[in-house]
Each structure stands twice: as C-alpha cells, then as structure tokens.
Structure 1
Amino acid sequence: MIKLSKFLKPFALSVSAVLVLVLLQSLSELYLPTLMSDIVDKGVVTGDTHYIWNIGGFMLLVAAGGMVCSITASFFSAKVASGFGKSLRSKIFSHVGDFSLHEFDKIGTASLITRTTNDITQVQQVLVMMLRMMAMAPMMCIGGIIMAFSKDAKLTIVLGVALPILVLAIVIIARSGIPLFKVMQIKLDNLNRVLRENLTGIRVIRSFNRVEHEKKRFNDANFDLTSTAIKVNKIMAAMMPIMMVVLNLTSVAIIWFGGIRISNGHMQVGDMMAFIQYAMQIMFSFIMLSMMFVMIPRASVSGVRINEVLEMVADIKNPAVSTLVESKKGLVEFQNVSFSYPGAEMPAISNISFSMKPGEVTAIIGGTGSGKSTLINLIPRFYDVDSGRVLVDGVDVREMTQESLREKVGFVPQTAILFTGTISENIRFGKENATDEEVQYAAKIAQATEFISNMSEGFNAVIAQGGTNVSGGQKQRLSIARALIRKPEIYIFDDSFSALDFKTDAKLRVALKEETLDSTVLIVAQRVSTIMDADQIIVLDDGEIAGIGKHRDLMETSSVYREIVMSQLSEEEIA
C-alpha cells in the first residue's frame, strides 16, 4: 500500500487539512475530562454554581468545536479517498491498455476486473479510516497517557498492565488473519471467473443441458469463498470481546485503586473521574487501531495485487526512436518468422517467409491449429516474433510505434466483437470522425444495408452488450464495415465470412475486390470457395508453409491443399 501513496500527491493539501482537523478534534476531546474534573472538584464540591455554569458553557464550546472539526475532517477524508480511487482506476485502465495479449493471458481477465474494482475499493475504504482513525488513535493514546499521568502517576500502573495485554491480542489476531485475506482475494478471482464463464457461455450451457453442473460449479466457488470469509471473520470477531473484557476490567481496577487513593487523601473525586475518561480514551484508541488491523491486512493484499498490475511491464513496447514509413503503401513481408506461445512445448509457426503486395489478395488456409490466427496476429504486433522479421513497407514492425502500425491495418477478428451503442457508433469505431455518408457506404460494401434498413431505427438502432440482439452473420458484416471505413493500407480478415451464406459471401467478395484495389488484403478462411480466386494462397500445416501459389498450381503441387479442396468441393466444382 505504501507504493500507492504517490497517488495521494494531488491531494496533499486536503490530507494536511484532515490531519490538522483531527489534531484539533483530539485536543478538544482530551481537554474535556480536565474541564469536567474542575467542575466536580471546584464547583460541585464547593457548591460554586457560577463556576459550574462558566466551565460548563466553555465545555459546550469545546465540544462544538470538536464536532465541527470531526465533520469537516470526514468530508475532506471522503473527498481524498474518492479522488484517490478515481486516479488509481484511471491509471490501471490506461496501463492495462498498453499490455500485449501475453500480459492479459498471464493475469487473466477476471482477475484484472477484480483488481480494478474490488481491490481498489478495499484500499479506498481503508484510506478513509487511516486518515481519521490512524491519525487520531496515536494522538488520543499519547495525549491520554500524558493527561492520565498528570492526574495521578501511580494509578497509571493499571494502564501499564492492561495495554500490553491489548497489544499482544491485536498482534496475535492480525498475524492469524493476514494470510487468510490473501486467500480470500484469490478465491474471489475464482468466483468472478466462474460467473463470467457462466454469463458469456449461457447459450452453450443451456444447449448442452449443463445448467445444474454450472450451478454446482458456482456454488462450490461461492462456498469456498464464504467458508474462508467466515473463518477469517471468526478470528477478527474475537478481537472485540477481548477488548471489552480488558476495558471493563481496567475500569474496575481504576475505580478500586482510585477509591483507595481518594480515601487516603491522595486523589480527588474529579481527578479520578477524569482519569477513568482518559483511560477509556486510551483504550478506545487501541480499539480504533484494532479496527484498522481488521481492514489493513485485506487492503494490503489488495494493494499488492494492484501493484502487480502497475509494475507489470508490457512485452511489447514502442521503440525509443520510431522509424518513419512512407504513407499509403501496404507491402507486408515475413522473413523466416518463428513464434511460440509462452510455456508451449512446440512453436506455433516456424520459418515462415512470404510477401503480400498492395492490390493483391493473399489467402491463408490450413487445418485447425496450423497457425493461421497466430500468423496474422504478428502483423499488427499483438505478439512479437521469437525470430525472424515482420516488415511493413520495408520496416520491421518492432521499429514502428504501435499506433502508427495499427493505423495502417483494418482488422476483422475471427469472433466478431460489437460494443454497446448504436450501429452507427459501432461502425465509427474504425474512424471516429466519419460522416454519415461514409458510414452508410461502408455498410453498403459490407452487405449490411439491408438488415440495417429493416430495423425500426436504422443506423441509430442500439446494439446490446456483446451484440446479443443481432445474428452472427450481422455481427460479421458490421465488423467488416468497421474495418472498411478506415480505408487502411492492409486489410486482415480472420475467417470473417464463416457466418455468411454463400450468396452474401459472393456478393461481399465482389464488392470488396473493387473497394480494396490499392490495398493489401489478407484473408484467413476455412472455405475453399472463398479463396479460390486469390492472387496468392498460403497453405499452412503444423505451423509451417506446405505450399504457396494460385489455386490451380497448388492443386498440382500441394497434397495438403488438394486434400482440403477435395474434402469440401465436388469433382464438378473442382473441375
């Protein structure tokens, strides 16, 4: 948590104000028992009513001042904590935005969500308490001990016995609870993961009648978290009874020994009453600290988890000096490229070499797991190659900034992703300042105009979260329109026509051919019919190139390609 204190710098003035106000509040509360002692010893005992009214009125002013300080300190501490949480969430969000896919795979989406929400909330709540209680408790404790000692030095021996017992209890309980808080956050991650899988995969779960199985998975994860929470709360719950027992026994001891000292004439009644209040203030300051010890362990675990994200360095970085690339070309070259996923035993692709030129259509085909998606992920630099080079317009992509590289690319992923908002906003995701005419033209090329016009609100129709209110083919066409509106140098279609019927597929390819005459087009497809007319077909098999050429050439030279074609087309279609 200490590492996160740098996010408090913008709120230094407010933090200082809180500390000053807490100090004034503490002084007012420490002064009140002394005033009460004076009222008893100098007013009540002597029967001086005027003195009682004067000091009583002054006590009300001191108490009112303390109350104003308390309310103002609460306001500023809440403001600081809220601003701190906002800054931290923004920092994590922007930092995670720079991660490569490797970092996302390493931490996990569910854990990143938990760290950005629940973990920051834990730290934020503790910050409010720290600004108030953590500052107030030492002041009240030290001030109370000084004031109690000034009332009767010998009676402070009672406190000398009670306080070590309290400290020992707090230390033992805190040491038992801290490891469990870390386990709780991990189990919360697991619960979030199960819940996320359940919600995103609800169609599959229902179609395979696995609802009960998923309920059991969720209940197991929920029970696992709950049992750990109960265990840690049982440990922490023991703290308050121990505190109250020590507190009450201390009060009895003070009254017992204080009564003896009063009867012997060594102490006045008012001083003993003040001493009891100071003792209570001291003990309650330790109770405040114990409450902090309940919250701090969990918040410290959350702080560590937040720092893990902030300190994680992305594998893919922008170069110190970016190489300038001439605009509007689109030449892509792979030179002996190999790549392995972290922890994998075998490389995903090996010794890949080919080039793609503007104005040409390059297609990639191969069996499942042959490395098609891996290969295209290297062009926009979602991953970095292990060996070899990927060149765009003659420049290694590692020597270009990620922003300038990706401005050249129009990417249509294998799984069409849409965002909450209108159809128009989803298409404009590719070009923020696009005009209505550009949006409509992109939709027309992507063969999306027909189904959009059938919607009651047309381009202003709202897309639900995840695009659940449109079909798979409609999602793909909107994703294609989003890429088309950019007018990039390089188009990448990762199996982006799989959900389209043959008629729409054919019409879309004709429209795309006219639209992408000056661009480099890369198509990954499972259907042979989609890529038969490509200028260059690359056949992948087990991460290696099994053939490059046009359809007719590959039918003669590549057994892998011939096998794929024969599995999909009839003899008449092949001929």
Structure 2
Amino acid sequence: MIKTLWKSLREYKKTSLLTIGLTLFEVVFEIVIPLCMAELIDRGVEQGEMNLVLKYGLALVVFALLQLMTGMGSALAAARSAAGFAANLRQDMYDNVQTFSFSNIDKFSTSSIVTRLTTDVTNVQNAYQMLIKLAMRGPFMILFAMVVSFRINRGISLVFLALIPVLGIGLILIVRTVHPIFQKVFENYDRLNNVVQENLRGVRVVKSFHQQSKEIEKFDRVSERIYQDFAKAERLISLNTPLLQFCLYLSMLLISWLGAKAIVASGNNAALGLTTGDLTALFSYAIQILMSLMMLSMVFAMMTIAQSSAERISELLQETSDIQNPKDPVRQVRDGSICYQNVDFVYASKAGKKVIDQANVTIQAGQTVGIIGGTGSSKSSFVQLIPRLYDVSAGAVLVGGVDVRRYDLDTLRNAVAMVLQKNELFSGTIRENLRWGNENATEEEMQEACRLACADEFISAMPKGYDTHIEQGGTNVSGGQKQRLCIARALLKNPKILILDDSTSAVDTKTDALIQKAFAEYLPQTTKIIIAQRISSVQHADQIIVLDDGKISAIGKHEELLKESAIYREVFESQQKGSGCHA
C-alpha cells in the first residue's frame, strides 16, 4: 500500500524533505531556549548580573525568531507537499479509472469511486501533512529533550522514561480499537453517496411517485449509521487527552518533588546538584516531551482514520484493466466485417450461467444487421464484445478478419461507433457534445451527421442552434432528441462499424424509418448493427439475429424468420395487434 501511494508523491518529494529539514532546525532552536533560560536565571537573575541578563535575553529573542521562521517555513512546505500529493492521488486514480474495462468498473460502484476521489483523498492529505510535520517534530523533540534532560539530572529524567511507555501503550490500544470502526464509516460513506446520486439522477421519478419522504428516510438511516460509528470512534480517540493530562500532571508532581529535594540538598549549587534554572528547564522539557507525545497521539488518530482511506485509494490504484493492448498490435482495421466463432461469454469467471452461449455468425462489411430478443436475452452483451468493452470467455470475435484481441485498442474502438442503450450527453454546447465523435469535425460535417440522424430540424429551431447549452445528463432535451444527438455524435467518427443499442426507442416510427433510410443511402460501406424492440426498425435489414437467453435462436431475413422462427413471429404478431389497437 505504502509503495503504491509513494509513487504519487513524485515532484513533491523534495518539498517533503525540506519540511523535515526545517522541522529538525525548529526543534533544535526550541530545545536551546530552555537551556538559555536556565543560564539567564542561574547566572543572571540569581547573581544579579544585568549584563548576563541582557546577553541571554537577546539570545532568547534570536532563538525564538529562528524557531518562528523555521516553524512557519516547515508548516508552509508541509501544506504544499500534502496538497500536491493529494492532487496527484486524485489524478492518478482518475487516470486509472479511465483505463478500466467494463468488468473492472463493475467491481466498484460509482459512489465508491467518488468517495475515494474526495473524502478518502482529503483524509490522506491531512494525515500526510501531519506525518511530515508533527510526526517528525514529535520524535525529534522527545529525543533531543531526553538527551538534554539526562545531562541536567539523570535521576529526575527517569520520570520521563517511566511515563512514556504508559502513554504509548494507551495510544496503541486506542488506535487498534478505532481502526475497524473507521473502516465501517467509509463503507457507509459509499452508501450515502450512492443514495444521494440515485436520488438526484432519478429526481423526476421520485417526485412523480411522491416518494420524497421515503428517500429522506433512506438518507437518514445511512447518515445515522455514519454518525453513530463516527461518534463512537471519536469518543475512543478523545481518551488520549485525559491520558496525556494524567501523565503530564503526574510528571510535574514528580519533577517538582524530586527537584525541590535536589535543590534543598545542593543549596542551589550547580556543582553539588540541581539549580533553580535547571529545574525550570526540566519543567520546560517535561512539557515539550509530553506535548510531543500529544502531537503523536493526534497523528495516530489521524493516521487511524486515514489508514482505511489509504487502503481504499491503494485498491483503486492497483486495479489493472482486464483488457490490455497485445504485444505488436494490429493498427489498421481492414473493413467492417464481423465473425463470431464459437463465442462464449460470462461476466465472472465463477458464474454458473453463460451470458452468450456458442454464438456463431458472419456479417459482411456494409451489411445492415438487426438483433431482436426479449429482455435479458443478452443483446447488449452480444455487441459489446465487438469493440472489446468485454472480452470473450471462449471462442473469438473477428473484425476485418482479425481477432479483436490482436488490435490496438484505440485503433479498434476508433473503427467502431457505439450508441449505448443508456445515452449520455455532457454539460456543454451541442457542438461540444458532437465533437466527442471527432474533435476536428468541420461545421459541414456536423450538419451532415445531424441531418442523417434527423437531429438538424430541432437543432435549427433552437435559439442558439449548435451553441445551445446542454445541461448535465441532457436534462433540457427530450429522450428522442438526446438519442438523435448521440447517433450524430457516433456518425462523426466515420466508423467502419456502427452499433445502435436500442438507440431509436424514443423516436417515432416515421423518424426511425428516415434514420434507417439515411444509413442505407449514405453509409453503404459501414456495417450497421441495430438492436431494437420494434420489428419495423429491423425488418429491412440484410439479416436479423434472434437471440433467446444468450443463444442465437435464428438468423435470416424478415420473411424467412416469419416462417421459421416462432419467437420472431410471436413478437411481430404482438406488435401488429398493438398497432391495430392504437389505430
């Protein structure tokens, strides 16, 4: 885990080392100040030497200023390092997510990825800032203060050695108890984000069914679990404060008692034992040591919170795509021909049921192919194997006569344009959305693509035309308009294979027919695969594939299937009756 996170530090390694160096100097100056104060008391104040009071007084001011400057410098460097580290973590996670295949994405929920990119990174950022600043300052301070304290008086300094294990054991017990609680907290954060995202994405459905109160209850339940777990963890962490205070006050009492005895015995003679200045310095070092332990306890608390976050971040960073480029990949797709050879597909290696079972079919370049089947018949899974959104479990899918696993991924996916079942538009203008298909598309090319997709009419009716702003998710356009824009976007890729996954379901039959006609006339060399629920959308296709429970039930033209396929005939007749009822 640490090795994985360390890679994201990159250019901020030097700033982190600078933080540690400045912290070391800050500690040295802070250690010198009590010694200087002891000399001021013993040699200046006690002996009435005003020259020495002035001398040591000026030295105190200089050391205090140096401590202030190094402390400010280390704090600024720590903040810069932590913020940069967090930025790199977010970027590295986001970049890695972009490489994921669909099977990788299926392992993580959207809400979980969002939580890791936000809350978890913030926790690691805060922990890292405390680590390079306070976690370095604490051990340095304890070490130097112990060394100087033992030089002043070994017997009294043993008080520190006796109390440090007590405090250390207490902190370890607290951390071990709290860690599993925070793991539960962040799992519940994922659930909370999921509830919020679902509610916002489906807000129209929520309101149309008047289910606001139920959604509020759902949110409250998850939020309450987070509160209960977090409160429990914080209560346990807060035990470190009374534990520290107990050790601090006990050390003060012991040092006062032992120190007073030593001063009385020596008569404030440094040569014989302990002086008033020495005792003052010991008090200062006692506070410094125990406050350093307090800092370390805060670091431990933050590290406990961050440990769960760091594990979740590391999990996302270590995830590698199931679909990789082969060695010496093929970088040119000859044509849009497709061949399924004994193809099996399952989503998980241990799944008992095949999603695609022994599929064999050949599609010539330029053909229009329809795919028909009931809900759950694996129509979408069937076509997602073509651009390697998933890989086959057995057999092979060939495009242009080459196994898709031999192609360079960018080459293959640039040759295949796919309009998914769930159309997605992004916030920005219509023009910006269209240029996802081809960022260098000219105005004429965009207009031609929109004409073929029957989108030019409603775009020209908009006040700003192609500069009309699309809200996130395309909420300010209708379902049919969104589908046509997505089709136009795909056409701008000038693909060898065009896949429409139920992408005209929201347009009327007349518009659907116009789109199919435009494809036939203007894209003769492009292989067109159309998944549809309506027979009318595919009945003029060169061949129609009927899927049933992951198996190819029948292949043929419309007239052939009406005679030979009971499934196809049943769908056709039910739609004809439905059409007659509406008439």
TM-score class, shorter-chain normalisation, is over 0.9
Match of 1:440 in 2: 447
2:338 maps to 332
Q: C-alpha displacement at 1:9, in angstroms?
A: 3.8
Whole-Å Cα distance in 2 between the matches of residues 348 and 571 of structure 1? Answer: 30
Task: Provide the C-alpha distance between the structure 1 equivalents of 2:557 and 2:431, rounded to a whole number of angstroms.
Answer: 38
In structure 1, what is the equivalent of residue 365 of structure 2?
358
Pairwise CA distance, 1:143 = 0.4
From 312, 318, 332, the counterpart of 2:325: 318
Q: CA contact under 8 A between 1:528 and 1:565: conserved in structure 2?
A: yes
Q: In 1, are the aligned partners of 2:336 and 2:366 still within 8 Å (CA)?
A: no
Q: Describe the superposition over 1:224-273 as per-residue Cα deviations: whole angstroms up to 9, x where unpaired.
A: 11100000000001111211122122112211221111111131101100
In the other structure, the counterpart of 1:249 is: 250
Partner of residue 396, structure 2: 389
Q: Distance in 2 between matches of 1:231 and 1:569?
A: 63
| Alignment partner, residue 188 of structure 2 | 187
CA-based RMSD of the aligned residues comes to 1.5
Provide, for residues 456-477 of structure 1, a one-character-per-residue CA deviation record: whole Å limited to 9, x for no partner: 2111111111111111001001
Matches of 2:538 and 2:433, distance apart in 1: 28
Deviates more, 1:259-268 or 1:217-226: 259-268
Moved more, 150-159 or 361-370: 150-159
User: How much has 1:11 moved relative to structure 2?
Assistant: 2.3
**Equivalent position of 1:77 in the other structure:** 78
State the one-letter code of the partner of 2:32.
Y
1:285-434 matches, cutoff 5 A: 285-327=292-334, 329-342=335-348, 344-434=351-441
- Code of the residue aligned with 2:14 in structure 1: it is L
1:191-221 CA distances to partner (integer Å, 9 max, x unpaired)?
1112111111222222222222211111111
Q: In the alignment, which residue of structure 1 is the partner of 2:261?
A: 260
Alpha-carbon contact 1:331-1:392 (below 8 Å) kept: yes
Deviations 1:289-309 (A, max 9, x none): 100110011211111111111
Partner-residue secondary structure (3-state), 1:538: strand
Q: 1:91 & 1:355 partners in 2: Cα distance? A: 41
Paired letter, 1:355: T
Q: Which residue of 2 aligns with 1:7?
A: 8
- Paired amino acid for 1:321: D
1:534 maps to 541
- Displacement after TM superposition at 1:326 (Å): 4.7
Query: 1:486-516, CA deviations, whole angstroms, 9 ceiling, x for partnerless residues?
Result: 1110000001110001222122222222221
Of the structure 1 ranges 509-518 and 29-38, higher mean CA displacement relative to structure 2 is found in 509-518
Look up the SS of the partner of 1:433 in the other structure. coil
- C-alpha spacing 1:139/1:384, structure 2 compared with 1 (3 Å): same
Contact 2:9 2:88 in 1 (8 A): no
Match of 1:226 in 2: 227
**SS at the partner of 1:547?**
strand
Q: Which amino acid aligns with 1:330?
A: G
Offset at residue 454 of structure 1 (A):
2.0
Give the deviation of 1:324 after TM superposition.
4.2
Deviation at 1:10, TM superposition (A): 2.4
Query: Is there any run of 5+ residues in structure 1 with no aligned partner, and where?
Result: none
Contact 1:325-1:395 at 8 Å conserved across structures: no
Find runs of 4+ consecutive structure 1 residues off by over 4 angstroms: 570-573
- Which string of whole-angstrom CA distances, capped at 9 and with x for unpartnered residues, describes residues 498-553 of structure 1? 00012221222222222211110000000011111111111111111111111011
Quote the residue 2:482 is aligned against. Answer: 475
Report SS of the residue matched to 1:539.
Answer: strand
Are 1:39 and 2:40 matched, yes or no? yes
Are the aligned partners of 1:325 and 1:393 in contact in 2 as well (CA < 8 Å)? no
Length, aligned pairs only: 572
Q: Which amino acid aligns with 1:79?
A: R
> How far 1:7 moved relative to its partner?
2.4
| Contact 1:537–1:549 (8 Å) recurs in 2 | yes
8 Å CA contact 2:372–2:379 kept in 1: the answer is: yes
TM-score (norm 1): 0.97
Distance 1:338 1:226 in 2: 47
SS in 1 for 2:390: coil
Assess if the C-alpha contact under 8 Å between 1:37 and 1:270 holds in 2. Answer: yes
Separation (CA, whole Å) in 1 of partners of 2:467 and 2:115: 33
Is the Cα contact below 8 Å between 1:148 and 1:278 reproduced in 2? yes
1:17-28 to structure 2, matched below 5 A, reads: 17-28=18-29
TM-score, normalised via structure 2 length: 0.96
What's the CA shift string for 1:338-395, capped at 9, x where partnerless? 1122254321121111122222210000111111111011111111111111000000
Q: Residues 8 and 92 of structure 2 are in contact (CA less than 8 Å); yes or no, is this contact kept in structure 1?
A: no
In structure 1, distance between residues paired with 2:504 and 2:159: 82
Unaligned 5+ runs, structure 2: 267-272
1: CA distance, partners of 2:179 / 2:567: 59
